[in-house]
Structure 1
């Protein structure tokens, strides 16, 4: 007996709206972020309302800062004849590549009022990788 599979027609169009659903769900849990630079270094801020310090992990590896964590929130409403509960949760991970002048020895992370701030200092000009410029003289 030969099985037939549908590759065109009604069935493929039925699941088409679900294509890419995983990416959309991942985007829902990706916290809003902003990156900025100042004279003293770089700053990455992420909105993490309701996320506790113990549920956040910040790593620096090979010039990339990665922030991982677990986001959970719960809201309950009750009345005389009704009850409602709404929960949001999920893991998130965001990575940011740092510029070459970022100093991996000067990294800190601070969580305040639901906003995580990762600060990375800049290397001094003398510490910058690269060659030395040799002046050319007329001989």
Structure 2
């Protein structure tokens, strides 16, 4: 039976993280290779913007690009995170020059954002690629108050 998403709007962030953290690699792979991929990625990025800690981003002025690879049919889903004036805005397509670009496949992105993967290990095994200011890139996830399962 194909993996389908629950009603994402009905889930709290904690429930969304718990749901995705509880999926097997095979189930995540199925989601990320099917029609539900865009909805799940969009939901996580939208919620990331709302979970930015104002105290941690207040002095930041940066653009981060995310390339989520292995999209069905080829290519990647691209997102842009703009941190400016104490706010975080997500764009579906990058328009500004990035200080750092983060590249990883959809399964690993979901595992990373739901707290079930070690970003250092992913980086060292080249499952997570960071180009640009890598020291800055290592700090980005710390700006967000995202629950762990």
TM over 0.5: no
TM (normalized to structure 1)? 0.22
More helix by percentage: 2
> Which structure has the larger Rg over C-alpha atoms?
1
TM (normalized to structure 2)? 0.21
